[in-house]
Amino acid sequence: MNGKAKQTVNLAAAIKALRGHLLEKGNRFDRGPRYEGQTKALPDVAHTVRMYEGMGYSKFMQLGEPAVYAMLGRGHREIHIFQLQDPKIREWLEDDKATLNDSAMREYLLQISGLSESDLPVASKPQHFHISEVDGVFILTSEDAG
């Protein structure tokens, strides 16, 4: 397998695992603050990662070249930074009227990841995720759902 094909397989496996983590039973999603009128404040994933590292977050992983996803953390807080490739997911997240915990969208995310509900555990510590978009870069932050 050549390097590019191997990178694609590794990227797909990592995205499947990450979606499985985010979609664990008990996790919830809400919209975070809106950032409108920004002038390319966060032009891409790599720049956003550097900004969060400057605030004391540790980078756990960064996927793609150029980067399309990164996961960082500080204490118990997770930060997922990504640029969407799937137009259906982008449309759903950008629609202020869409429910982020929509069962049809959850089913779609499971399907494109090759997962089923039976594959997913109940989250040991359910998390409450907030998602915001800045200039096409999506930032998903977590807190314990308690």
3-state secondary structure 83-137: CCCCHHHHHHHHCCCCCCCCHHHHHHHHHHHCCCHHHCCECCCCEEEEEEEECCE
Per-residue confidence band for 143, with pLDDT thresholds at 50, 70 and 90: confident
Comparing 6 with 108, the larger pLDDT belongs to: 108
CB 81 within 8 A of CB 18: no
Q: Is the pLDDT at 33 greater than 90, yes or no? A: no
Q: Give the whole-number percent of the chain exceeding pLDDT 70.
A: 86
At residue 116, the pLDDT reads 93
Question: Residue 63 has what pLDDT?
Answer: 87
What 3-state DSSP class applies to 66?
Answer: coil
| Mean pLDDT, residues 44-62 | 94
With contact defined as beta carbons under 8 Å apart, do 67 and 57 qualify? no
User: What whole-number distance in Å separates Cα of residue 111 and Cα of residue 106?
Assistant: 9
What's 139's DSSP letter?
E
Q: pLDDT tier at 8 (50, 70, 90 boundaries)?
A: low
Between CA 89 and CA 94, with CA 93 as vertex, the angle to 5 degrees is 115
- Residue-level pLDDT at 2: 52
List the single range of 15-24, 39-48, 77-86, 112-121 with lowest mean pLDDT. Answer: 39-48
Per the structure, how many domains does the chain have? Answer: 1
Q: What is the pLDDT of residues 58-113, one digit of tens each?
A: 999 998 888 989 999 999 899 999 998 889 998 998 888 999 999 999 999 999 98
Q: Which domain holds residue 96?
A: 3-144
Q: State pTM to two decimals.
A: 0.82
